[in-house]
Amino acid sequence: MASSLFQSFLNPSKNWFAAQHMKALSKRLRKYGLRYDDLYDPMYDLDIKEALARLPREIVDARIQRLKRAMDLSMKHEYLPEDLQAMQTPFRSYLQDMLTLVSKEGKSREGGIGSITSLSTHHSLIILLHQSWILFIMFSDRFFSGGP
């Protein structure tokens, strides 16, 4: 019951605030040419590290290039040109399916104590806080310096 209430609260199609958050996040990600899955940090979660290791090399290389470009733009206090922003797909996932598979394997291997699946609420909040912190750091110069 509580889980379904929590899920409906986070669902953008059912919650206006979630939809506004998703719209704002999409705009921010487009400005730097990032995808939402690029925000996952393999240093803080072994499942993410394993999922990235299992992905094809081209996908991982594209992720690294997006992250490098975003850091470069952020350091220069610039955004992607408008025409390139329009081409970005910030919520097109490349990692979620593999991450789900790795999490299920971890759960079955550990006899019910999987890393993300069994600790989903706590672990998801930690990942969400970490991603929010990364976004805050990336975009804080805009808020505090009065930049574009």
Give the tens place of pLDDT for each residue, 92-118: 999 999 999 998 988 887 665 444 444
Residues 91 and 34: their CA atoms lie apart, in Å, by 9
CATH architecture of 30-99+115-148: Orthogonal Bundle (1.10)
- Report whether pLDDT(10) > 90: no
- Report whether pLDDT(130) > 70: no
Greater confidence (143 vs 58) lies with 58
Give the tens place of pLDDT for each residue, 71-97: 999 999 999 999 999 999 999 999 999
Greater confidence (121 vs 31) lies with 31
